């Protein structure tokens, strides 16, 4: 899992640099936003010229799932001061959640496990960003080598890896087609937020399968 952070973080640094963002801007994203898929999305939206409130709204929607994760973790942090919980929250990621909830469900209670793992992810993510950022300019003209397609390919891979049920495929296709239609009709600015917020409703229409 720690290796996979590098595998995603280095490409992030590369595509962000290729897209014309400055090193300071790229580092600020990894240091302060610290959310993989969101950061790739931001690079894409910057390229599309989307206004900042819509970029933030998109990031908000992508990360809303963390409310579920934080709520699931909260009982284990009941004995900890609010300041420490606020600090723990900053480092919450899908990976840290997965490791921590597994740990707690095995009956362990040490919070240091979450802290160590979550902070290590943070350090690695930022290290990977720096490496990618330095590699970026060495990879010639983006369009010629298809590098401009790397973000899209990364998104596709993230979606495909995340598919657990058949309805996930329906949601993804709905989102992609609605967004494309909106973009084609000239509404590319709201395409992502609108299609992304609507498509999950498809999951509610399907019969109740258990969450995997």
Partner 1 sequence: MTWLAIAASALATYLVRAFAFTVAFPSTPPRRVARYLDALPAAIIAALVGPAVLVPNGHPTHGHELIAALVVVAIVARWRNLLAGVLGGVAVVALLRLVLPA
Q: Which residues have a Cβ under 8 Å from the Cβ of 212 and sit 6 or more positions away? A: 164, 165
What is the H or E stretch that residue 30 is in?
none
Only one of the segments 35-43, 99-107, 108-116, 128-136 lies at the binding site for partner 1 (rule: CB under 8 A); that segment is: 35-43
Interface residue with partner 1 among 5, 71, 116, 122 (CB under 8 A) is 71
Least spacing, CB of residue 10 vs partner 1, in Å: 9
With binding defined as CB under 8 A, does residue 166 bind partner 1?
no
Interface residue with partner 1 among 16, 62, 121, 133 (CB under 8 A) is 62
Interface residue with partner 1 among 98, 102, 116, 152 (CB under 8 A) is 152
Interface residue with partner 1 among 107, 109, 138, 143 (CB under 8 A) is 143
Identify each DSSP E strand in 93-209 by its residue range: none
Instruction: Tokens 């969450």: give the residue.
Output: 211
With binding defined as CB under 8 A, does residue 44 bind partner 1?
yes
- Of 63 and 120, CB closest to partner 1: 63
Q: Are 146 and 154 in contact (CB under 8 A)?
A: no
129 CB neighbour count, 10 Å cutoff:
25
**Interaction mask 103-132, partner 1, x per CB under 8 A:** ------------------------------
109 CB neighbour count, 10 Å cutoff:
9
Interface residue with partner 1 among 46, 115, 126, 127 (CB under 8 A) is 46
Interface size with partner 1, residues (CB under 8 A):
101
- 69 vs 174: CA distance, rounded Å: 26
Q: Which residues have a Cβ under 8 Å from the Cβ of 191 and sit 6 or more positions away? A: 178, 179, 180, 182, 183
With binding defined as CB under 8 A, does residue 1 bind partner 1?
no
**What token pair was written down for 80?**
């900890």
């Amino acid at each position: 899992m720690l290796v996979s952070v590098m595998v995603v973080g280095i490409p992030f640094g590369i595509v962000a640099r290729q897209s014309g963002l400055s090193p300071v801007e790229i580092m600020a994203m990894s240091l302060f936003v610290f959310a993989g898929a969101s950061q790739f999305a931001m690079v894409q939206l910057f390229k599309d010229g989307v206004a900042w409130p819509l970029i933030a709204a998109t990031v908000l929607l992508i990360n809303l799932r963390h409310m579920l994760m934080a709520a699931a973790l909260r009982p284990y942090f009941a004995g900890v001061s609010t300041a420490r919980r606020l600090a723990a929250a900053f480092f919450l990621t899908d990976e840290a959640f997965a490791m921590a909830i597994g740990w707690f469900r095995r009956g362990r209670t040490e919070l240091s496990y979450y802290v160590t793992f979550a902070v290590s992810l943070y350090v690695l993510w930022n290290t990977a960003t720096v490496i990618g950022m330095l590699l970026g300019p060495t990879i010639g003209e983006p369009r010629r080598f298809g590098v401009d397609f790397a973000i899209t390919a990364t998104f596709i891979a993230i979606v495909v890896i995340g598919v657990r049920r058949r309805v996930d495929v329906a949601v993804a296709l709905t989102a992609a087609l609605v967004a494309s239609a909106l973009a084609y009709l000239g509404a590319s600015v709201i395409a992502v937020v609108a299609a992304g917020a609507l498509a999950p409703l498809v999951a509610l229409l399907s019969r109740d399968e258990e969450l995997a």
